[in-house]
Structures are given as C-alpha cells and as structure tokens.
Structure 1
Amino acid sequence: MLTHNPIEKFDSNKIQTEFEKPKEFNLSKTPLLRTANTRLEEATKQPKIKKIMGEVWQYNELHIHFADTGVGKSIFAMALANAISKGENFMHFENENPPLPVLYYDFELSDIQLLKRYSNDNGNIYQFSPLLYIDNIDFAELISSNPNAKFIDLLFSKIRADIKETDAKVIVIDNSTYLNTQSTQDTQIALEVMRELNNLKKEFGISILVLSHTPKRNISTPISLNDLAGSKHLSNFADSVSSIGRCAHDKNIRYFKQVKPSRSGELIYDTENVITCKIVKNDTFLTFEFIDFTNEYEHLKQPSENERVERKREQTELAKKLKSEGKSYKQISLELFGKETSKSSVHELLRK
C-alpha cells in the first residue's frame, strides 16, 4: 500500500534556486513591436529609395568597389563623384538625385598628381562642382595632437566633423587599404572601419563608397567576392559590391561588374552582361567611357588544361565550404561564377 503521493508537488522556489534569474533591463523607451501592416503603412510615408549609380548603388547604402592596382578604380570613383555633385548620370548609370555635396577622401594622389589628371597641356584646369570636396587627412598631425587616443576614434571624430562642416550627403573613401595600414596594434582595423562607416551611414543618413584593392587574381576566371581581400567579413558590412576588371586581350579595355547586388536593386551586370568601357581624357577630364555590354568571358584569358583542372578543384572545395556554412545554391553560384543562374553547375561540384 502506497504511503505517499508519487507525484511531487511543484516547487517554484526550488526551480529558481537551480536556475539563475534572467537580468531585467529598462525597456520603457523601446518602441512597441509593429505588425506587418503597420510597417508597410509607415513605409509608404518614407522617402523613395533613389538611385545614385543605377541599380548598382542606392541612396543611403554602403557600397564597396574593388579592383587590382592600375585598373582605374580611383578614376572611376572621381568621375562618379563629379557626376553626383552635379546631379548628372555617369556612363550608363542613372542618378535620380539633385546635386549633392560629396566628401572625397583621397589617400592615393598628391596635389600635383591630381592636377595632372584634371588639366591639359595648355594649362587649362577642369572646373569641378563647388559641392565636391576632395582632400586627405593628415594622420601624423592628428595622432601628434592626440597621442593617447585610439586611431579609430580619432579617424571617425575627424570624419564626423567634416560631414557637419560640408553637409556631405555622399562620402568616398579612396581607399580602405590605406586606412588599414595606419594602425599596427589592431589586426581588426578593417572590420572596425567598416563597422564605423555603417554607423555613420545610419547616423547621418548618407551614402558611402569605399574603394578597395584586390590581391593578384587569376585573369582566366570571372571576378567574384573571393577576389576582395577579407571578402567574407568586409562584404557582410556592405549593402552592395562591384568591381572593375582588365581585359586580357586589350590593355586599354576595362569591364564593370556587379559582384553583390543591392537588396534595393537588381543584379543586371553579371558575368553574362558586364559593361565594357575604357579610360579616356576629354580635354581636362580623365574619365571612363561606355562601349558596349558583353559577356565577361570575352575579356578573360583562355586557361590551359592544367589551369582548368586546378580551377575545377578549387571551385569544388569552395562550393563544399560554402555549403557547410549554410549558403544556398543561388548564393554559391553568385560567389563562384558571378551569376545566380549556375545552380546546376554548383550541384555538379557538390556531387564530387
């Protein structure tokens, strides 16, 4: 005969002693959760997302543009910044904005080198818009005046002051690689720079273009995110990414490609539809000129049989790695082949 109840009485006090009570925070100023319908209704009252660079780069986005040394990414960025400051389109890219103040940080050229690019042999100088500010930052003076400050804090304190002084709506960083070399103490400086740039974008509601180098790449393969140094981390902070490649058959020809499409735009300039262009000097102005739309493979070097075998091996390893990270076939296709329509090729690689 049972002399006790086999089901113990639930003791909440006992449970609380065994598990740590969750910490409580002051959430009184946190906005109430919105329903889907409320979000959509509020979105109708917000400003339209405007194109700065066609479908490639939208207003209030952080865009990374990368290329190998000597390809012309600074020339491309200056021509684009000039168009934005005048409210004009650039090459084949639509700009839906009025003239905007642009703050261009140039860490590449000296004043004399800049003059050579934007003047002619007769001494005539190109007249930029007064809304285009282009200069560099004297890091030595900045650090000397603030010897105990952290580099990243100094840098963004300066940029914030410049934004307020110029009322800049667009910022160009030329280039991120230079900023990354300013600190020998912090190996995460590149990620910190990108994180802080994103904070600036949200704080001031501005658009940001970051130029970056790429290591020497195999010119027989399409450009992909893997060609951007630190791609996995840097591209995570970017709303969109593009690149310029050099034609393997004509040293004067370049081609433009979308590598990571904007969530607000479309993937138009992929491997099957890159923009073929060239660098030209129009009297006093060095710029890019549109030629045609072509397939990226027309610009690539034809690989040898050994190179094809090695490339297939590398693609197989990378495809499996990306799959293990939870990437979809569409995402793997974009990273490997520069387009979202090669899912069958991804499937074949993963079967090996």
Structure 2
Amino acid sequence: MGKSATKSFNDMLLDEMKSHQAKLEEKENKDRCLIVKPANNWIEDAKRRPIPNMLFSEFWYERELCILFADTNIGKSILGVQLADSISRGIPIPGFKIESEPKGVLYVDCELSDKQFENRYSDNYSSHYSFADIFHRAEINTEVDVPKNYNGLEDYLCLSLERNISEKNVEVIVIDNLTYLKSDNERAKDALVLMKFLKRLTKKSNVSILVLAHTPKRDASNPITKNDLAGSKMLMNFCDSSFAIGGSTLDPSLRYLIQIKQRNTEHLYHANNVAVCRLVKETNFLCFQFIEFGSEQEHLRQSKYSDLSERDELMKNLIAQGLPNTKIAEQLELSEGAIRKRRKALSL
C-alpha cells in the first residue's frame, strides 16, 4: 500500500472517529440543559446552514420568529395575507424585497370567516383573486374534541401546526392573531409558553413564523415603541424581529411601517425612515401600496388639535391668506412636506 493511500485511509479513519464523537456529544447534549461546545465548533456548524434570505425586506428573514403589531383596524391582516401571497409566489411586494424562491405558506386565520375572506379578495363576490396552490389558509375548529392528554385547545393547536408543516410542506406560518391563541397573552407566563413553543418550532422545523398581535389602546400622538405591544417584554425577548404598522393623520388611507427589533440587519426603518403605504383595492385584492419613505413624526396626531378636521380647517384658512407651505408648516408645527402631501390629498 502506497504512502498516499495510507494517508487517505488514516484521514478516513480520523473523520469516522470525529463523526462518531460528534454523534455521542449530540446524544449527550439532548439530555442536558446547556449545549456546550467550543466557539469555533459553533461557527463550523453554522457554516453548514444556509444564510437567511429576506422574506419582506429587512423587516423579516427566513427562519425568524417575527411579530407584527398594530392597533385594531389598521390593516395587520391585510398586510399578513399580502406577505403570505408574496412569499408563496416568490414575488416581492412592489417597493420591498424578497430573496427566497416560492415557499409553502400556512395562514392561520382567527379573524375572518370564509365569507369575509372571500369579500376581501374579490370584486363584490365576483372576479375572485387566485392565490398560489401552495398558499394554505386554516381556521380554528372550535368544536373539535380535544384529547384528554392535551392542556386545552392551544396545546392541541400546537400539535396541528407541527403536523401541517410536514403534511402540506409548509415553510412559512402566519398566525393571525396572537390574542386569539392566548386570550390573556398580556400575562407573562402565558406569553412565555407560547413564544417558547413558536421559537422552538423555527429551530426544529426550519420554518419562518410571523405572529400578528394587537396593541392596547395607545396615544396616537406618540411614536410607536416596543412598549406598545401587549405583553411586550416577554414577547420581545423571544422573537427575532418585530415591526409595527402606524396610522396617519395626513390621510385616513395612509399607513407607515417601522422596525422595532432586528437581529439579522441594521436598524433601517426607524422613525426618520418609515415605509409609507396606502391601503388600496383596485380590483379584487386589498393591499398595502408602497408610496415613499418618510418621517414618523409627520403622521402622528398633533396634540394641539382635537382632530384632523380641525387642523384641516386651520390649514385652509392659512392657504386662503396666501401663505406659502413653509409658513403654514411653521404655524401648524408640521414639516413642509406634510403640508404639501395634505394639500394634495385635499385637492387644495
């Protein structure tokens, strides 16, 4: 046997021994609370896993547990379905980015009935929108008999999620919404249990999860922060990323998206660079339409005015006096851009 052949055999034997040792360590680690390995080993293991791709620009990446939150009637479900549709087709929402190929999506809808869903994605119940075949929608079966070995409907639902991942070849899950799954999710212990399960699911099954959540009643004149999310501390601790939708006082149809937490990227969509969108339904698909990037402050309610109509009347009076936008902005304590946009919306 030649020298090179002997070396090759020795290398193969060494690789086999390393593989056997790694399997022993993996088996041992499963029975331990902490998995301890040299830092270099962690990096070598990570190298073998793919780099996460964007699912929705820098807001949400593959294999992340992400939380999208907003006040009621702002459009969480609308954006949730739009994201699910985009991911199932591998086609980006105009104005945003996606880096992945089409993925199987499971949308757990605890908000709309099938008829309400039909209405939202049709033209007055006709000319229905056609979703991709790998976009699956689910509703909670409230009449199901939960087996005795499960602690309520929530635990049984967790099993159903895992089952559908394999049966439907699901890679992305959207849960709409957290409040339904845990009606008292403001309580730390309940939020902790649910977030632990979802976080474990992203690691175990390599799925990406977006959870929609409500905010408690908030002051619309204040910027959105992580404290506006119900049960914020526990939820934020266990999610990988989070973003929020805010309403606008410039126009009732406007919304803005702002990053709250991120781990895979820098903080891009902050208060001075929010993504401004308009809610539109041109034919049979209600959706967010990107307009521009702007400042969150422009869209917040100004506390000196009781409502938007009062501010509009003051602006009309100043326009009638012949004042330029810059002077009107000074008097109303807004930016010149905000005045310009509002005048355009009101055709003034």
TM class by shorter chain equals 0.7 to 0.9
Q: Does 1:120 align with 2:119?
A: no
Q: Structure 2: how far apart are the matches of 1:302 and 1:83?
A: 35
**Where does 1:106-117 land on structure 2 (aligned, <5 Å)?**
106-117=109-120
CA deviation string 1:133-174 (max 9, x = no partner): 01112133143xx25530243121111111121110000000
Read off the aligned partner of 1:29 and give its amino acid letter: E
CA deviation string 1:235-274 (max 9, x = no partner): 111001100000023211111110112x111211100000
Q: Is the 8 A contact 2:250 2:299 kept in 1?
A: yes
Structure 2 gaps, min length 5: 1-24, 306-348
Q: Structure 1: how far apart are the matches of 2:192 and 2:41?
A: 35
SS in 2 for 1:245: strand
Q: Is the 8 A contact 1:106 1:134 kept in 2?
A: yes
| Paired position in structure 2 for 1:189 | 190
SS in 2 for 1:29: helix
Q: Is the 8 A contact 2:88 2:132 kept in 1?
A: yes
Please, which of 83, 86, 91 is the counterpart of residue 86 of structure 2?
A: 83
Larger displacement relative to structure 2 (120-129 or 72-81): 120-129
Q: Structure 2: how far apart are the matches of 1:227 and 1:182?
A: 16
| Paired position in structure 2 for 1:57 | 60
> Cα distance, 1:94 vs. partner?
1.1
Q: Is the 8 A contact 1:176 1:190 kept in 2?
A: no
Relative to structure 1, the CA distance from residue 41 to residue 182 in structure 2 (aligned partners, 3 Å threshold; closer, same or farther) is closer
- Number of aligned residues: 275
**Where does 1:25-64 land on structure 2 (aligned, <5 Å)?**
29-30=28-29, 34-64=37-67
SS in 2 for 1:285: coil
Relative to structure 1, the CA distance from residue 94 to residue 39 in structure 2 (aligned partners, 3 Å threshold; closer, same or farther) is same
Q: Structure 1: how far apart are the matches of 2:241 and 2:82?
A: 19
Q: Is the 8 A contact 1:56 1:266 kept in 2?
A: no
Q: Structure 1: how far apart are the matches of 2:231 and 2:256?
A: 23
Q: Is the 8 A contact 1:276 1:290 kept in 2?
A: yes
> Cα distance, 1:122 vs. partner?
7.1
Q: Is the 8 A contact 2:103 2:170 kept in 1?
A: yes
| Paired position in structure 2 for 1:287 | 287
Q: Structure 2: how far apart are the matches of 1:197 and 1:73?
A: 19
Q: Structure 2: how far apart are the matches of 1:200 and 1:122?
A: 37
Q: Structure 2: how far apart are the matches of 1:34 and 1:198?
A: 21
Relative to structure 1, the CA distance from residue 298 to residue 104 in structure 2 (aligned partners, 3 Å threshold; closer, same or farther) is same
**Where does 1:165-180 land on structure 2 (aligned, <5 Å)?**
165-180=167-182
Q: Does 1:302 align with 2:302?
A: yes
Q: Structure 2: how far apart are the matches of 1:122 and 1:302?
A: 40
Q: Structure 2: how far apart are the matches of 1:142 and 1:158?
A: 13
CA deviation string 1:9-56 (max 9, x = no partner): xxxxxxxxxxxxxxxxx9972399544444444433331221111111
Q: What TM-score, normalized to structure 2?
A: 0.74
Read off the aligned partner of 2:179 and give its amino acid letter: T
Relative to structure 1, the CA distance from residue 141 to residue 46 in structure 2 (aligned partners, 3 Å threshold; closer, same or farther) is closer
Relative to structure 1, the CA distance from residue 54 to residue 210 in structure 2 (aligned partners, 3 Å threshold; closer, same or farther) is same
| Paired position in structure 2 for 1:138 | 141
Structure 1 gaps, min length 5: 1-25, 306-352
Read off the aligned partner of 2:159 and give its amino acid letter: S
| Paired position in structure 2 for 1:308 | none
Relative to structure 1, the CA distance from residue 35 to residue 160 in structure 2 (aligned partners, 3 Å threshold; closer, same or farther) is closer
CA deviation string 1:205-224 (max 9, x = no partner): 10000000001111111100
Relative to structure 1, the CA distance from residue 181 to residue 40 in structure 2 (aligned partners, 3 Å threshold; closer, same or farther) is closer
Q: Is the 8 A contact 1:118 1:284 kept in 2?
A: yes
CA deviation string 1:98-150 (max 9, x = no partner): 1000000000000110000001137111000001001112133143xx25530
| Paired position in structure 2 for 1:96 | 99
Percent identical across equivalent pairs?
Answer: 41
